[in-house]
Amino acid sequence: MLQGWIQIVLTLLIVVAITPFFGRYIARVFQEQSTFLDPFLNPVERVLYSLVGVRAKEDMTGLQYARAIVYSNIVMALLIFFIIMSQGWLPFNPTGVGAPTWDTALHTTISFITNTNQQHYSGETYMSYASQMWGLGYHMFTSAATGLAVGIAFIRGLTGRPLGNFYVDLIRAITRILLPISIVGTIVLIAAGIPETLAGPVVVPTLENPTISQAIARGPVAHYEIIKELGENGGGFFAINSAHPFENPNGFTNLIQLVAILSIPASLIYTYGIFANNLKQAWLVYSIPVAILIAFVIVTAIGEFNGNPAVNAILGSSQPNLEGKEVRFGWAQSALYAAITTASMCGAVNSLHDSFMPNGGFVTLSNMFLQIVFGGQGTGTAYLFAYLILAVFVTGLMVGRTPEFLGRKIEKREVVLASFLILLVHPIAILIPSGITLAFPDQLAGISNPGFHGFAQVIYEYASAAANNGSGFEGLGDSQPSPIAIATGAKTTATALWWNLSTCFSLLAGRYIPIIGLLFLADSMSRKQLVPFTSGTLRTDTGLFTGVTAGVILILGALTFFPVLAFGPIGEAFFIKG
């Protein structure tokens, strides 16, 4: 038991320790200050700017920035859809897999372009190496860089600066942050035992019967794995994601993945402190997601350590819940991974979330409902400060102080935008399609578990899509037959078609509407005149206001989604207790 808790504490301490160093580097990159990579990358970036036709010093408005994101993402979506549907005749296809169904290809395209990587397929049987590298892997960089660019633009606007240029931010996010770390990370992961090869599956005789052979899938996994975590993408090369020994073979690779997942979203809050010239406030804001994450990790870990009461009654002793978990990680690292991957909107998994105790289901769903426990790549930081703006307004009303943030008045437009983003878009993208699906449990849902857990399965799938997380409770009939199975006569299903198309709504609504709203909010803040600080100004860099903000976050999240949690994991917990 003690060893497991020590592993959890050390992992979180490493993340906190690297935050100021990485946060300072990100700030230097996007403030266009000198870095050690300048001699190598300045010429490369000039060529890229020339090819794209971008004027590096030309700032965009919120509308122009949003338009650039939408246009570029449409072009990239068409590219990935073409690659997936053409994989049957493209090179690097050692298994000869053909094109998947059109609805699977569409869902996969939208899922990866939105940085969600929700997978209604098994990577080793559905996708060729070309699709994994050129399509999915490419979009792991661009979708993560898009989110990071939005986060930086929001920070600029919040601190009174122009939003910048999307194409410049996109290129610098890839060349200065994602790509260099991914190159180093790939080398480390290869050394740690993760394969990186273009060779096809290896066929070996089984130990039980040497006359029977088994095909072991492999591929160019290591470079795919590091950007999967660093960019908060989460899409696995193999069906079982980071529970697969070729994606996550040991405790060292597990540690690298956990640190990589949190490194950018955690450091962006420190980056804000540098932009705002207020590191005190940055650390106070940083304490909100850290405190919530620690509490959620403890809740999840206690549930998994204590195990299932029904099973313990049969065994006559208390045993950890190891169902759906890899022995090499155990209860502690599985619980920590589940809490971190849903807190950060990464969505990678090293265990089956469907098999967790209700504590784990409560935590993973709550993370995706709140979206600010570090949250998505770049957008999570922006969401956190949108909550801060709401807290300023609410607190100002209660104590009779002027609602100001960083010397700029919070007025009707800012409150409407922040409320729209937090209180309307996310619940609509989850609850409406969930309600429709649950109204037809046999025809649409394909639920594999009855009662509270089956309810949670459906809610989880749409919450994962809307939050751009991508993990799943599984157990739903959301996968069409593989291209190989279709070639041998397997039929597609209406249930999988519904899941592919309905989650596309949540994917798109959960990604682009908030991004556009955040950019408009940042643009509005950037245009405001500074007002002088007076005795009537509400200070936002105090422990008291930080506590109020945390309360606003939890109250709004609880009021919106508590009924869903009550019918899901909370109800399941009472049911198990009897």
Mean pLDDT to the nearest integer, 531-537: 72
What is the Cα–Cα distance from 100 to 455, expressed in whole angstroms? 29
Residue-wise pLDDT for 316-348, tens only, equals 888 899 999 999 999 999 999 999 999 999 999
The residue extents of the domains of the chain are 1-577
Collect all residues with Cβ–Cβ distance below 8 Å to 415 and sequence separation of at least 6. Answer: 389, 390, 393
Asked whether residue 536 carries a pLDDT value surpassing 70, the answer given is no
pLDDT of residue 506: 96
d(CA 15, CA 21): 11
Residue 220 per-residue DSSP state: B
Q: Residue 25: helix, strand or coil by DSSP?
A: helix
Q: Quick check: 182 pLDDT over 90? A: yes
The secondary structure of 447-493 as a DSSP string is: -SS-HHHHHHHHHHHHHHHHTT-------SS--PPPHHHHHTTPPP-
Q: What is the predicted pLDDT for the residue at 56?
A: 65
Q: What percent of the chain has a predicted confidence (pLDDT) above 90?
A: 64
Query: Using 50, 70 and 90 to split pLDDT, how confident is the model at 577?
Result: confident
Distances (CA, A) of 244 to 222, 237, 325, 343: 12, 9, 11, 22
Beta bridge partners of 315: none
Question: Distances in Å between the alpha carbon of 176 and those of 41, 42, 435?
Answer: 8, 10, 43
**231 pLDDT band (50/70/90 cuts)?**
very high
The pTM score is 0.94
HEC secondary structure over 428-441: HHHHHHHHHHHHCH
Q: What letter would DSSP give residue 54?
A: -
As a whole number of angstroms, the distance between CA 259 and CA 116 comes to 19
The 10 Å Cβ neighbour count of residue 299 is 17
Lowest mean pLDDT segment, chosen from 39-48, 96-105, 246-255, 288-297: 39-48
Tell me which residue of 350, 349, 29 sits closest to 179, measured CA to CA.
Answer: 29
Helices assigned H by DSSP within 216-353: 222-230, 251-276, 279-306, 309-315, 330-343
Using the predicted structure, report yes or no on whether residue 415 has a pLDDT greater than 90: no
- In DSSP terms, 220 is beta-bridged to 196
Q: Is the pLDDT of residue 174 over 90?
A: yes
- 51: Cβ–Cβ under 8 A, 6 or more apart, which residues? none
